[in-house]
A and B are shown apart, each in its own frame.
Chain A
């Protein structure tokens, strides 16, 4: 095993779960999130000689994973195709009451809105960077974030109450 392989193995081991964690609110399906993550890692593996030299290989990985999630969503946008391939949407595996409410709220949002929420709030990307990355206008990203926040806003109060009790 070369130093390069060791470097990738470490990167893979350390980034797999955090990447899937970020993808779940976007694709709303743990198995689909893992599939997208594996595709992103596959691309990282094949280009590791280049990716390992980047200032932040994790940022590259997250960007690629978001692109893979979007292109997968475009392919499966037809509901019948998605049903045939993956079964009903949003097959996440349980969780507490708050998580189920978040899932229900996220299900109401189209994937690009969920993606904007995750990129901004979980990955800390500025609006302009999200616009560049997703190829849409800054105003579109702001609108997506606003709709996403509105959908989740009613849950924030419940969440703060539950978090306060815990």
Chain B
């Protein structure tokens, strides 16, 4: 349907006859910004994972230490009796 193509092209041409491509530097700057923002996002994810691991390991260590301490107190009190 050639008329449809001509109709759409006429509309599109009327809207775009004055536009020009922005300088390539604009695109390059945008690509650099996008890349930096992606790196920062990945870095934040890694930092969050590390913090989570540290907190998790510390809680596990603290729990086992508390358990050992309770056992020792129980043993001492049993021995005292």
- Indicate whether A95 sits within 8 Å of B16 (C-beta atoms), given known contacts A45-B27, A156-B3, A160-B3: no
Q: Shortest beta-carbon distance, B60 to chain A, in Å?
A: 42
Report whether over half of chain B's contact residues are helix, strand or loop; otherwise say mixed.
Answer: helix
**Is there a chain B Cβ closer than 8 Å to A72's Cβ?**
no
**Is there a chain A Cβ closer than 8 Å to B76's Cβ?**
no
Q: Shortest beta-carbon distance, B21 to chain A, in Å?
A: 4
Residues of B within 8 A of A160 (CB): 3
**Is there a chain B Cβ closer than 8 Å to A41's Cβ?**
yes
**Is there a chain B Cβ closer than 8 Å to A103's Cβ?**
yes
For B1, B5, B12, B21, which residue has the most chain A Cβ atoms within 10 angstroms? B12
Q: Shortest beta-carbon distance, A133 to chain B, in Å?
A: 18
The contact size tier of chain A is: 35 or more
The contact size tier of chain B is: 20 to 34
Would you list 11 pairs from A and B whose C-beta atoms are within 8 A, ordered by A residue?
A22-B12, A99-B10, A99-B15, A102-B10, A118-B8, A121-B8, A122-B5, A122-B9, A152-B4, A155-B7, A160-B3
Known: A34-B19, A117-B8. 11 other contacts (CB 8 A): A42-B27, A42-B34, A45-B28, A99-B10, A102-B8, A102-B10, A122-B9, A155-B7, A156-B4, A156-B7, A160-B3
Give A residues with C-beta under 8 Å from B.
Answer: 8-9, 12-13, 16-17, 20-22, 24-25, 30, 33-34, 38, 41-42, 45-46, 92-96, 98-99, 102-103, 106, 117-118, 121-122, 149, 152, 155-156, 159-160, 163
